């Protein structure tokens, strides 16, 4: 199947199976089980996993286009397979051959879904401050204790890449951090679900580990102390996803504003003929296209290989901020109706802020960009 065929299939699925149900399911915060199964059938849970392991093997550039299309209709859906694919990327890039054979086929088919578990109650951006511990128990493997929080797919996922400390006394700290691939079972269960302003449908929940035992075969790559580097590398794909989501939300807000501006009349003419509205539409369109171009550039850099933190951070920063600005401008174009649940713009306005927080805040992206600029341009 060509990339064009895949994109066309995604478009048909979204129009037939998603768009008619978004308003009801989003406002009721309903887990979209049938839609998730449809995404699995389309192969989206294996979008970037290699065909060798049962995935579609999409390039990051094509994957970004898929994500943009999904986010234009319902942004939450892109989050369901994003976190899952970040975990899969960590396994495929850094796991042992046995780990790839054991997990990737089921992850690609969607038979086992999950995500990435990083955040803890006292730790968000500063990953080196995590407290969750994996303690070696002789030849029996590891015993894990701790809590992860705000984990996407936490309730409905089965398998998670979990960042822990295997040596809390290590210096520098990252040498004591390791990444495990763990399945729910004895000593590992979901906790409470968090209620959110937006980003409905996808569950964000706690993961609780109480003396959970894991064999040494669950340590990704089989070597301790590589977890932070593995996580940061896998998050580059996550930033492309969030950037593409930002473009999708920005485009959806623009689409709604263009449509409404042509049917709403004031002072005897459609509001799109008023200069004040024209200026907003022009700015919204320019932001959207700039975000799209940055995202495509970052995806191409990812496809070429090597470190892409500069490119992915720039794309994520700009596109996510564009989504926030466009969602507010779309609401202003709609006036009072933009504040009503009758129109999609109020959902876009609630969803967009997640994008400037998730996968690293805009402030963190700016710091990453600045550091990379200095590193790449030494005096």
- Please identify, among 194, 224, 254, the residue that sits at the C-terminal boundary of a domain: 224
Q: Does residue 110 surpass a pLDDT of 90? A: yes
Looking at the structure, tell me whether residues 93 and 147 fall in a common domain.
no
Using CA atoms, how far apart are residues 285 and 252, in angstroms rounded to an integer? 11
Whether 128 and 148 share a structural domain: yes
What is the average pLDDT value for the chain, to the nearest integer? 96
Counting the structural domains of the chain, the total is 3
Whichever domain contains 147, its CATH number is 2.40.110.10
Q: Are residues 237 and 262 in the same domain?
A: yes
Same domain, 337 and 219: no
Angle CA 320–119–210, to nearest 5: 155
End residue of a domain, out of 224, 242, 276: 224
Return the higher-pLDDT residue of 125 and 157: 157
What's the pLDDT band for 268 if we cut at 50, 70, 90? very high
263 has a pLDDT exceeding 80 = yes
What is each CA distance from 234 to 48, 275, 326, in whole angstroms?
A: 12, 45, 29
Residues serving a catalytic function are 359
What is the predicted pLDDT for the residue at 103? 97
Regarding whether 200 and 238 lie in a shared domain, the answer is no
Percent of the chain with pLDDT over 70: 100
Clarify whether residues 197 and 243 are in a common domain: no
242 lies in the same domain as 363: yes
Whether 1 has a pLDDT exceeding 80, the answer reads no
Q: What local confidence, expressed as pLDDT, does residue 102 receive?
A: 97
Q: Is residue 333 located within the same domain as residue 354?
A: yes
pLDDT digit string, tens, across residues 142-196: 999 999 999 999 999 999 999 999 999 999 999 999 999 999 999 999 999 999 9
- pTM for this predicted structure: 0.95
Q: What is the pLDDT of residues 62-79, one digit of tens each?
A: 999 999 999 999 999 999
3-state secondary structure labels for all residues of the chain: CCHHHHHHHHHHHHHHHHHHHHHHHHHHCCCCHHHHHHHHHHCHHHCCCCHHHCCCCCCHHHHHHHHHHHHHHHHHHHHHHHHHHHHHHHHHHHCCHHHHHHHHHHHHHCCCCEEEECCECCECCCHHHCCCEEEECHHHCEEEEEEEEEEECCCCCCEEEEEEECCCCCCCHHHHEEEEEEECECCEEEEEECCCCCCCCCCEEEEEEEEEEECHHHEHHHCCCCHHHHHHHHHHHHHHHHHHHHHHHHHHHHHHHHHHHHHCEECCEEHHHCHHHHHHHHHHHHHHHHHHHHHHHHHHHHHHCCCCHHHHHHHHHHHHHHHHHHHHHHHHHHHHHHHCCCCCHHHHHHHHHHHCCCCCCHHHHHHHHHHHHHHHCCC
Are 179 and 66 in the same domain? no
Average the pLDDT over 325-332 and give the result.
Answer: 98
Predicted confidence (pLDDT) at residue 139 exceeds the cutoff of 90: no
Give the pLDDT mean for 324-350: 96
CA 209 to chain centre: 24
Task: Tell me the residue range of the domain where 337 lies.
Answer: 229-376
Q: What is the pLDDT of residue 126?
A: 85
User: What is the pLDDT confidence band of residue 354, given thresholds at 50, 70 and 90?
Assistant: very high
Query: Which pLDDT belongs to residue 124?
Result: 77
Q: What is the pLDDT of residue 306?
A: 86
Do residue 76 and residue 35 come from a single domain? Answer: yes
CATH code of the domain covering residue 287? 1.20.140.10
Residues 266 and 340 in one domain: yes
Band (pLDDT 50/70/90 cuts) for residue 57 is very high
Looking at the predicted structure, is the pLDDT value of residue 125 above 90? no
Of 109, 130, 157, the position where a domain reaches its end is 109
């Amino acid at each position: 199947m060509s990339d064009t065929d895949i994109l066309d299939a995604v478009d048909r699925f979204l129009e037939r199976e998603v768009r008619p149900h978004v308003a009801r399911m989003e406002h009721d915060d309903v887990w979209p089980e049938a839609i998730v199964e449809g995404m699995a059938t389309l192969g989206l849970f294996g979008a970037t996993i290699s065909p060798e392991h049962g995935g579609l093997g999409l390039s990051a550039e094509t994957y970004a286009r898929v994500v943009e299309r999904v986010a234009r209709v319902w942004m939450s859906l892109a989050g369901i397979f994003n976190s899952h694919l970040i975990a899969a990327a960590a396994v495929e890039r850094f796991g042992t051959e046995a780990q790839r054979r054991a997990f990737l086929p089921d992850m690609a088919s969607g038979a086992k879904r999950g995500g990435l578990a990083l955040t803890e109650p006292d730790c968000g951006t500063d990953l080196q401050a995590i407290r969750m511990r994996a303690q070696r128990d002789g030849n029996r493997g590891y015993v894990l204790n701790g809590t992860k929080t705000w984990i996407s797919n936490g309730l409905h996922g089965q398998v998670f890449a979990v960042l822990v400390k295997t040596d809390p006394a290590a210096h520098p700290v990252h040498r004591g951090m390791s990444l495990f691939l763990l399945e729910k079972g004895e000593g590992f269960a979901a906790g409470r679900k968090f209620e959110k302003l937006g980003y409905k449908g996808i569950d964000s929940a706690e993961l609780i580990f109480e003396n959970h035992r894991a064999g040494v075969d669950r340590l990704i790559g089989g070597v301790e102390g590589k977890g932070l580097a593995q996580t940061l590398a896998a998050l580059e794909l996550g930033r492309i996803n969030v950037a593409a989501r930002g473009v999708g939300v920005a485009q959806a807000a623009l689409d709604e504003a263009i449509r409404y501006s042509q049917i709403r009349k004031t002072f005897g003419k459609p509001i799109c003929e008023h200069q004040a509205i024209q200026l907003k539409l022009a700015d919204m369109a320019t932001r959207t296209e700039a975000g799209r171009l940055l995202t495509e550039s970052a995806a191409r850099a990812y496809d070429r290989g090597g470190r892409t933190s500069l490119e992915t951070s720039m794309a994520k920063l700009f596109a996510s901020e564009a989504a926030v600005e466009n969602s507010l401008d779309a609401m202003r174009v709609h006036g009072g109706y933009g504040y009503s649940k009758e129109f999609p713009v109020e959902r876009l306005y609630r969803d967009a802020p997640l994008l400037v927080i998730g996968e690293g805040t805009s402030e963190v992206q700016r710091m990453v960009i600045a550091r990379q600029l200095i590193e790449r341009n030494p005096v």
